């Protein structure tokens, strides 16, 4: 008898990550992972199943309705897995606002509430809703669960969440929410398993990927985050600006007369490492480039990360450990060293041999602050939360 399967969907603005999990009642074990890349023509479906790697060109074209894309994707998966045994789907939803404090089973009321938050995450929320509706159309028998990136940060103190703006605007939802919560939840759990003493203290996790942010944890509970109202805030990213003087926006929209759509494109897609360097959004390329613009982009990236870490350390009232995670954080020693060197004054010293080897512990024995490299796994959290919700609602799998 074949085991039941669970799929996870992690929708980005230009890609969808997919996880295939086997369910063992209360636990989910990943069998394969994949990604649909909407930046490619034709669409490409990249799949990793154990040691095997597949790159599949999809015949279907991208459209507002994702049902055709998913139908073809499911057709390919059916050649490798018993798709009829998929009994549940978990989704990463970027924004839960103040409406969702944890994962929920998706029904009509949940969809309506998620849709109402679209204005707070205009690049990500619509893609996730399209996925949910496409799966409803293709597999109406399958239970769906939403996991929210903002939920992990609901423990942030009120003083952290508030902007210095009129109270009415705050009450209307203009406040700091924080993102990458599924990644931080996974890292908090992994740190507790790997280094329990450090996990019980004051920790800053650096989720450094194309999208990047920092989170301050106290005993595994989120206290502060670099991202605030939107995924633009905080540290610079591959193509996003990070924290920006609001006067710049007033200047662009006012005296310079730039249209809103153009300003949005500049801030989300033409800034960050790409904007500063004028060369690439990929830090790997910039690290090997001899041009001064590339060096300036990397220097600004590590400078802002270190500065934001110092700010979050003030929120925590000290700092016991730092964790680097996500694509850049896990695989780029020069970036980790660039950040850490700016934090020597806090007592952080790297073991440069361990750092160069991407070891789990990269701090020197003499360092007052521990430093770790721990791979993140958002899909595992999505799967775990989906199972948890379905069991709580008596939909035992």
> Tokens 């806090």 belong to which residue?
346
Phi, psi of 140 (to 5 degrees): -65, -15
CA distance 229 to 76: 39
Chain centroid offset of residue 351 CA = 28
Identified catalytic residue from 149, 224, 233, 320: 149
Q: Which residue matches tokens 């508030």?
A: 162
Q: Provide the 10 A C-beta neighbour count for residue 364.
A: 17
Distance of alpha carbon 96 from alpha carbon 76, whole angstroms: 32
**CA torsion 242→243→248→252, rounded to 10°?**
30
E-state strands within the chain: 5-11, 15-24, 27-37, 44-49, 52-57, 86-93, 104-105, 143-148, 202-208, 212-218, 221-225, 321-325, 370-373
d(CA 99, CA 188): 23
Two tokens, residue 311: 């700010």
149 a catalytic residue? yes
Number of residues assigned to the chain: 397
**Active-site residue numbers?**
149
């Amino acid at each position: 008898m074949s085991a039941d399967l669970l799929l996870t969907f992690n929708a980005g603005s230009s890609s969808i990550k997919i996880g295939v999990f086997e369910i063992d009642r209360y636990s989910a074990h990943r069998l394969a992972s994949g990604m649909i890349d909407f930046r490619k023509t034709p669409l490409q479906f990249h799949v990793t199943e154990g040691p095997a790697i597949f790159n599949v060109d999809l015949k279907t074209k991208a459209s507002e309705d994702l049902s055709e894309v998913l139908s073809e994707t499911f057709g390919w998966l059916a050649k490798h897995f018993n798709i009829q045994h998929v009994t549940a789907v978990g989704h990463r939803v970027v924004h839960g606002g103040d409406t969702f404090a944890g994962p929920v089973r998706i029904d009509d009321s949940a969809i309506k509430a998620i849709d109402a938050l679209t204005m707070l995450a205009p690049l990500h929320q619509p893609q996730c809703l399209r996925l949910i509706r496409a799966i409803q159309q293709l597999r109406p028998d399958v239970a769906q669960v939403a996991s929210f990136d903002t939920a992990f940060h609901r423990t942030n103190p009120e003083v952290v969440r508030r902007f210095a703006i009129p109270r009415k605007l705050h009450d209307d939802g203009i406040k700091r929410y924080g993102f990458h919560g599924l990644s931080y939840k996974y890292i908090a759990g992994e740190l507790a398993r790997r280094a329990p003493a450090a996990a019980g203290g004051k920790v800053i996790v650096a989720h450094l990927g194309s999208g990047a942010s920092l989170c301050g944890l106290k005993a595994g509970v989120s206290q502060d985050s670099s991202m605030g109202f939107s995924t633009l805030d905080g540290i610079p990213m591959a193509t996003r600006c990070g924290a920006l003087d609001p006067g710049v926006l007033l200047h662009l929209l006012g005296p310079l007369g730039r249209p809103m759509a153009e300003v949005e494109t500049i801030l989300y897609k033409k800034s960050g490492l790409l904007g500063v360097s004028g060369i690439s959004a990929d830090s790997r390329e910039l690290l090997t480039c001899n041009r001064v613009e590339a060096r300036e982009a990397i220097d600004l990236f590590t400078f802002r990360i270190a500065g934001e870490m110092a700010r979050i350390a003030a929120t925590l009232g000290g700092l016991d450990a730092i964790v680097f995670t996500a694509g850049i954080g896990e695989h780029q020693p020069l970036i980790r060293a660039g950040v850490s060197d700016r934090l020597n004054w806090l007592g952080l010293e790297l073991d440069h041999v361990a750092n160069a080897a991407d070891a789990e512990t990269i701090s020197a024995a003499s360092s007052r602050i521990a430093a770790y490299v721990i791979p993140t796994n958002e899909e595992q959290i999505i799967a775990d939360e989906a199972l948890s919700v379905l069991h709580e609602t008596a939909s035992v799998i």
